[in-house]
Structure 1
């Protein structure tokens, strides 16, 4: 199966992914924020780089859309075990891009404040959850909504519906 085979055959709800300029080592993905989360009204752009040793090394993924989240820093880097290889990571060669993107969407829905990239946001998540939710919603509305995001999503979902 091709790199994007699972995504082409059975795309997960709310997630699209495709190569940039037909280069299978550079992918772009858009995912809708999970329902019942402070991100639910947002559309988030991700940049994916496929290393030469893939699938024996995990893809390099970062959020291009700013996200207020304990496990995502202001550069879009993500702290999740499945994006780490070796003894300390959970990446396995049997994993694929589709399952990885689904896991990232689940991370949006259920942050892990015990393993943060942003300690201040993690502290807020744990000690003042309502404030965290307000801040996450505000940043989502500022950066992950708007006409550009909506029109882009509709255009790509039309493409995926035809295939």
Structure 2
């Protein structure tokens, strides 16, 4: 019988495979930390025409055991970043962090692309 965590890990592995197979985006890499598919390190490029342009932003992404039915537990930049959607502990905050705005169709790619887009155009929804 498949547990909730097993389902989340399977979804995560599928998402990671899709990113590796078709990575024509701002995502440089996404890898599990210590083999844990629900704890990921990611790197994205800085959006053009922003203070982050030409930079590489490293992110610590924690997914819940209920993924993809629940939003990420945390999205934290691994370095200091000044941005309206980033709090004092470098945690990214936006509507996708809230259950009422989360959709089970969201993937790891769409989470990271959302972060990238908010870096380019800050949202007041944090």
TM range (shorter): 0.7 to 0.9
1:36 aligns to 2:49 (yes or no): yes
Would the aligned equivalents of 1:58 and 1:84 in 2 still touch at CA under 8 Å? yes
- 2 CA distance for matches of 1:107 and 1:5? 24
TM-score, scaled to structure 1? 0.63
Equivalent position SS for 2:44 = strand
Aligned to 2:67: 54
Give the superposed CA RMSD.
1.6
1:7 aligns to 2:6 (yes or no): no
Detail structure 1 runs of 4+ shifted over 6 Å in the superposition: none
Aligned to 2:6: none
Q: What does 1:7-156 align with in structure 2 at a 5 Å threshold?
A: 7-15=19-27, 16-59=29-72, 60-85=74-99, 87=100, 90-112=101-123, 114-116=124-126
Compare CA radii of gyration and give the structure with the larger one: 1
Equivalent position SS for 1:19 = strand
TM-score, scaled to structure 2? 0.80
Alignment coverage as a number of residue pairs:
112
Equivalent position SS for 1:4 = helix
- 1 CA distance for matches of 2:79 and 2:55? 10
5+ long unaligned stretches in structure 2: 1-10
Q: Name the structure where strand makes up a greater proportion of residues.
A: 2
Equivalent position SS for 1:27 = strand
